[in-house]
Structure formats: structure tokens, C-alpha cells
Amino acid sequence: MLDMTVITDAEIALPAEPVALQHFIDGTWVDSADGAVSERVSPSHGVVVSRAAQGGETETEAAITAARAAFDDGRWSRIPGKERAAVLLKVADLIEQHTERLAVLETLESGKPINQSRGEVGGAADLWRYAASLARTVHGDSLNTLGDDMVAMVLKEPIGVVSIITPWNFPFWILSQKLPFALAAGCTCVVKPSEMTPSTTALLAELMVEAGMPAGVCNIVLGYGMPVGSLMTSHADVDMVSFTGSTAVGKKISQIASGTLKKIALELGGKNAQVVFPDADLDAAADAVAFGVHFNVGQCCNSSSRVIVHKDIADAFTTKVVELSRRVAYGNPLNPDTQVGAIVTPEHQAKIDGYVQEAIAEGADVRLGGAPLEVEGVGSQFYQPTVVTRLTSSMRIVQEEVFGPVLSVLTFKTLDEAIALTNDSVYGLSAGGWSNDVHTCLAFARRAEAGTVWTNTWMDGYPEVAFGGMKQSGQGREIGRYGFEEFLEVKSVVMRVGRTRAPWVNGS
Ligand code: NDP
């Protein structure tokens, strides 16, 4: 047995029976027309957590029709921002009141530790509150310098009907990075969660109704990418698709959406590097590297799955990371002391292991872990904390998203080399630099090809600060004012003041 920290017991009882979930369309909860359902089995405890209606084209069409009607008649898009804000604030309060219920379901469906789910739900409430503040402050421009007889306004308007498609790794958080911002702008929405983690999205419908959201403004269809997500992307009555998921599916969405030239916003994968310069606070950096790779079992677009360390400190630093990784508490997600939980599916666990075994076959050295993990009484869908060295940048484990608790260690000698390795990726989501010299930090931040650069920290996010990717990590931004603007259309209104316009047709 690997010398590591494993937690087996739980403080929360498993639910007596699965939660039953329906679609939420035009203010009404409905089953699928054909009666189809899908079940989600907990990756950590093997119990059926939810039994969800499995939607098809009928439900998707109905949801889009409802969202279109709700947008066009102005029941949400044309009411004062103050009124939209009041509803969003109420939803935020209700999310907080229901934190425990939401967190337990999130943990059982995703396999993540309960304390992390609680944090995710609390953070999501804050996103709803921040979005509410934007509903009241959105504004465009006025141009009063066009001449005595002219004035112009640039108005911001809601873009229309937005399809929101989300993944399984942070179901409630990612939904809350999109939905309240779209709603604050005055858009109406159709939402599809991953079929593996539908519960918290479906339960949100109850909270929105209690908060006073008009029928048809937010519609939720449960089901698979095909056909639900695909129709949400191709449909002519949808004005924008906001998607978070894999780069492969993001590319498909981009192709399908081009048929109607609708706007797309894509948050995709990452192969993010933390770079450790020799003058850095090595204890703090090692802790951040352990956090960056093990958080959410590495099933995280922001996972810092690469660490690029200066050659002079590489051995000592890697030893520190290995020792810290042993102390990270893996195990039963229902125990509040657990820091890392289960892998989402057995197939994904096999994929993670495949990357590690391939690297070993190519000559890599596994300094820690490198195998699946069984947690007594909880199950075998876990993976050991893993640290891999003796790698080259071209190997698949270094280039591709492993999406597991697997750290690839690379080394550098010069700043240029560190930057070149950081940018040697098709992805460009996030990057981190560790140095006590502000000039080194700034040089790194300016040259790293990433939508977010952290220096002397990792994965600190705020509703106010835009998030998104460069290169094949995405298009557009989420959260902050930039994220909000994605849901707004720009309209210029040019006005003549008085009847001063010179006639174009002679004698008119
Ligand atoms: P997927 O891309 O497989 O799925 C994401 C969502 O898209 C799911 O709801 C899925 O439905 C749906 N979908 C699948 N096929 C289609 C289609 N043809 N048309 C429309 N929708 C479709 O990603 P995962 O759920 O596996 O999530 C993991 C991936 O997400 C990782 O690559 C990760 O990097 C990325 N990610 C990126 C983030 C970012 O902000 N940049 C944040 C979090 C994750 P279903 O699965 O139900 O069939």
C-alpha cells in the first residue's frame, strides 16, 4: 500500500432513495414525452443518486419555444434592471438556505469532497449576487461631439435566447458563472447540465420559482449532448451558445453554430503550468502545486498538471511536492476532512492510468503513485496522487489533458526556456509564476499565453475578475464585466436634433 493519507469513514448518511428529476419548461416540471429516464450512480458509494428524465428533441424544442416567447414578449428582457436584480438576489439567498441539500447531491453525483461542494455552492451564491449588481449598472455610451445638430447613443441590449451547456466537474459553479449573468443582461435561457450531474441544476428550478422568476425565462432540459445539446446549438431561435466542456466538443459546437452564425462563448480544456523560479518561496510554491494538481482529483480545467522548475532546485522541490502529496487526504467524499474524492467514471479512471503507463513505457520516472486506489468500504474509483519526472515536453502526458491527480515535472535554466515550455501547448487557459522578484513575475505574466496568470498564488478567482482561455482553451470570457458583456448586443442610435438635415433630393 502506498504511504499516503486515506479517509474511509463518513459523517453523512447516504440518502434513502434516489432523487427524481424532471425537465423544467415554461414554468412547469415535466417528464420526457417518451418516458425515458437515466440514472446516476455515485462514483464513490455505488448507490443510485438520481433518476432523471432523459430529454429528446420534443423537450428541447419546447424549451427553446418557451425561451423565445419569454424573450420576445419582454416579460424579462424589458423590465427594469432593478426588478431583475431583485429576483437574482432572492435566488442567491435561497441557494444559501439550501446549501446542504445541494452540496450533498453535488458530492454524491460528482465524487468531490463535501466541504468542497459546500464551498462551491456558497461561491455560486456570491456569483448570483454579483450578477444582480450588474443588472442595475449596465450602460452604453453617449456621443455628444458629433456636431451641433447630432447626438448618438450606443445602447446595450440583451442578446436574446441563450443555450447554456455545462460539464460534470463543477456543475453548480459553472452554471452560476453563466446563468445569472445571462439573466442579469435580460436574456432568456435553455440550460442542459451533464447527464452525469443533473441534480443541482434541476433543483435550481425550484429556487428560481420561489424567487419569482417568470415562467419561460429559464428552462432546463435534462439529457445527453446528442440530441439535446446539439439541437440547442443548431436551432435558429437560439441567439447564443455558452458552453463549458472539452475542446473536442467545443469545436463541434463551433461548427454547428456556424450554420446560423449565432454567437458562441467557449470555456474549454487546459494544460496549465506553474513555473518555479529559484528565488521563490519554495514551501508556498510546493503547497500551491500540490493544491493545483490534486484539487477535484485533477478533474479541473485549471488543473496545474505541469510544473516547470529551475534545474538548480528541481530535485529538492520535487521531493517537497511528493511529501506534501502524500499528506493530502484522499478518500470518502462524505467526510468533511477529505480533500480529494472519487474519479467521475471507471472509463475516466482507466484513461488517467493509460497516460501514466504510457509515460512509464517511454522512460518516465514515477516518483509517487501511478496506480488506481481502492478506499476501504467506499469503492475503487479513485486514483493515487501521482508525480512523474524524466519527461520531455512532447510526450502525451505533458501535452494532453490527463484530467487526473497526475503532475508532470519539467525543468528549465533560463526565463526564455521557462516561457517557451509554458507556451508549448495548444491550450492557453491559465499559468502561474513563482518568484520573489516582481520583475520576473511581470515578465512571466506578460509573455505567458494564458487567459489568466497568477503570480505567487494559484486558482484564486473572484466574480469581478474575467476568466477564459486563449488558443484552444476557448473563446470569449466569463464572469466580471467582460463576461457580462458577452450576453449583450450593441446598438447604435444616431439622432438629428431638430429639422436641420440638408435635403439629398433636389427641391425636397
Ligand atoms: P464534454 O465536452 O464531454 O461535455 C460537456 C457538455 O457538453 C455536457 O453537458 C455534454 O453532454 C455536452 N455535449 C456533448 N456532446 C455535445 C454536442 N455534440 N453538442 C452539444 N453538447 C454536447 O466535457 P465533460 O463533461 O467531459 O467535461 C470535462 C471537460 O470540460 C474537460 O476537457 C475540461 O477541461 C473542460 N472544462 C473546461 C472548463 C473551462 O472553464 N475552461 C471548466 C470545466 C471543464 P453529455 O455529457 O451529458 O452527453
88-113 pLDDT tens trace = 999 999 999 999 999 999 999 999 99
Question: Do 54 and 78 fall within a single domain?
Answer: yes
For the stretch 187-242, pLDDT in tens is 999 999 999 999 999 999 999 999 999 999 999 999 999 999 999 999 999 999 99
With a 6 Å cutoff on the Cβ, whether 229 touches ligand 1 is yes
With a 6 Å cutoff on the Cβ, whether 134 touches ligand 1 is no
Does residue 505 lie within any of the structural domains? no
Question: Do 387 and 477 fall within a single domain?
Answer: no
Domain at 234, CATH number: 3.40.605.10
Question: Do 194 and 321 fall within a single domain?
Answer: no
- The residue among 342, 388, 334 whose CA lies nearest residue 361 is 388
DSSP-H helix ranges across 9-72: 57-72
Tell me, in angstroms, the distance from the centre of ligand 1 to residue 74's CA: 31
Tell me, in angstroms, the distance from the centre of ligand 1 to residue 300's CA: 12
With a 6 Å cutoff on the Cβ, whether 482 touches ligand 1 is no
Q: What angle do CA 431, 437, 442 make, to 5 degrees?
A: 45
Does residue 241 lie within any of the structural domains? yes
Domain at 408, CATH number: 3.40.309.10
Q: Report the alpha-carbon distance of residue 430 to residue 442 in Å, rounded.
A: 15
Question: Do 34 and 91 fall within a single domain?
Answer: yes
| Segments in the chain below pLDDT 70 | 1
Does residue 373 lie within any of the structural domains? yes
Does residue 460 lie within any of the structural domains? no
Query: What is the pLDDT at residue 1?
Result: 66
**Neighbour tally for 392: CB within 10 Å:** 10
Question: Do 252 and 290 fall within a single domain?
Answer: no
Question: Do 313 and 398 fall within a single domain?
Answer: yes
Question: Do 198 and 346 fall within a single domain?
Answer: no
With a 6 Å cutoff on the Cβ, whether 478 touches ligand 1 is no
Does residue 159 lie within any of the structural domains? yes
pTM above 0.95? yes
With a 6 Å cutoff on the Cβ, whether 167 touches ligand 1 is yes
Q: Report the alpha-carbon distance of residue 190 to residue 55 in Å, rounded.
A: 13
Query: What is the pLDDT at residue 276?
Result: 98
Question: Do 355 and 262 fall within a single domain?
Answer: no
Ligand 1 nearest atom to the CA of residue 223, by list position: 47
Does residue 214 lie within any of the structural domains? yes
Question: Do 50 and 157 fall within a single domain?
Answer: yes
Domain count, the chain: 2
Tell me, in angstroms, the distance from the centre of ligand 1 to residue 166's CA: 6
Question: Do 167 and 67 fall within a single domain?
Answer: yes
Q: Is 301 a catalytic residue?
A: yes
Tell me, in angstroms, the distance from the centre of ligand 1 to residue 369's CA: 28
Does residue 288 lie within any of the structural domains? yes
Which of 251, 253, 301 to probe ligand 1 with, by most ligand atoms within 8 A of CB? Answer: 301
Query: What is the pLDDT at residue 2?
Result: 85
Question: Do 163 and 211 fall within a single domain?
Answer: yes
Does residue 205 lie within any of the structural domains? yes
Q: Report the alpha-carbon distance of residue 318 to residue 62 in Å, rounded.
A: 55
What's the domain range around 342?
273-455
Question: Do 168 and 32 fall within a single domain?
Answer: yes
